Amino acid sequence: MPRILNKLQIFNDRHSYIYRDGNTVSQRWYLYFYDKERKSCHRFSLGDDFDFNSEKEALRRGEEKYLELRTKSERGEKIKLLTAQQMADRFRTHERNRISTTPHTGITKVRHRFISNHLDKFLEYVPPNTPVHKFGRDIFSNYIAWRKDWAELRGKPMPRDNTIRQELSTFRRMIRSIAIQEGYLTAMPTLPTLNTTRQDRENRRDCLTREEWKRLEVKARHWAKQTHKKEIAAANYREGVRKVVVSVRIRPTQQKHRQLMYLAMMITMNTGIRIGSLRKLKWANIEKNPVLSSDQQKVSCLIRVPGAITKTGISYTINAPIVDYLNQVREITSFKRPSDFIFMNQKLGQPFSDRIWKDSFHEMLVESGIAVWAENDNNHCRKIRVLSGKKLTWYSLRHTYITFRILYGKTSIATLCNQTNTSMKYMDTHYFHYRAELSTEELNEGRKYLRETNMDIDWMDRNGWGDGRGDD
328 and 370 inside one domain: yes
- 152, HSE (Cβ side, Cα atoms, 13 Å): 6
Residues 6 or more apart whose CB falls under 8 angstroms from that of 446 comprise: none
Instruction: With CA atoms as reference, report the closest residue to 228 among 246, 240, 204, 202.
Output: 246
Q: What is the CA radius of gyration of the chain?
A: 32
User: Is there a single domain that holds both residue 171 and residue 58?
Assistant: no
pLDDT of res. 30: 85
CA-to-CA distance for 78 and 101, rounded, in angstroms? 36
Examine the domain organization and report whether 292 and 159 are in the same domain: no
Range of the domain at 310: 210-221+249-405
Residue 212 identity (one-letter amino acid): E
Domain assignment present for residue 79? The answer is no
Q: 277 lies in a domain?
A: yes
20 is a domain residue: yes
Whether 176 is in a domain gets the answer yes
- Assign residue 327 the CATH number of its domain: 1.10.443.10
Please tell me the total count of domains within the chain. Answer: 3
Tell me the mean pLDDT per 10 residues along the chain, length 472.
78 86 77 81 79 84 87 74 92 93 81 95 94 90 93 89 92 92 81 68 72 95 86 62 72 94 96 93 93 91 91 89 93 93 94 94 94 83 89 92 84 86 79 52 51 46 44 42
pLDDT for position 366: 93
Question: Which stretch of DSSP H or E encloses residue 13?
Answer: strand 13-21
d(CA 421, CA 72): 52
Give a yes or no: residue 429 inside a domain. Answer: no
Residue-level pLDDT at 411: 78
CA 398, 404, 410, 414 torsion-angle sign: positive
Does residue 254 sit in the same domain as residue 400? yes
Give me the amino acid identity at 363: E
The pLDDT of residue 469: 43
Consecutive H or E run containing 221: helix 210-225
Give the end of a domain, one of 51, 74, 97. Answer: 74
Residue 104 sits in the same domain as residue 58: no
Residue 83: strand pairing partners: 131
Same domain, 378 and 272: yes
In a shared domain, residues 215 and 196: no
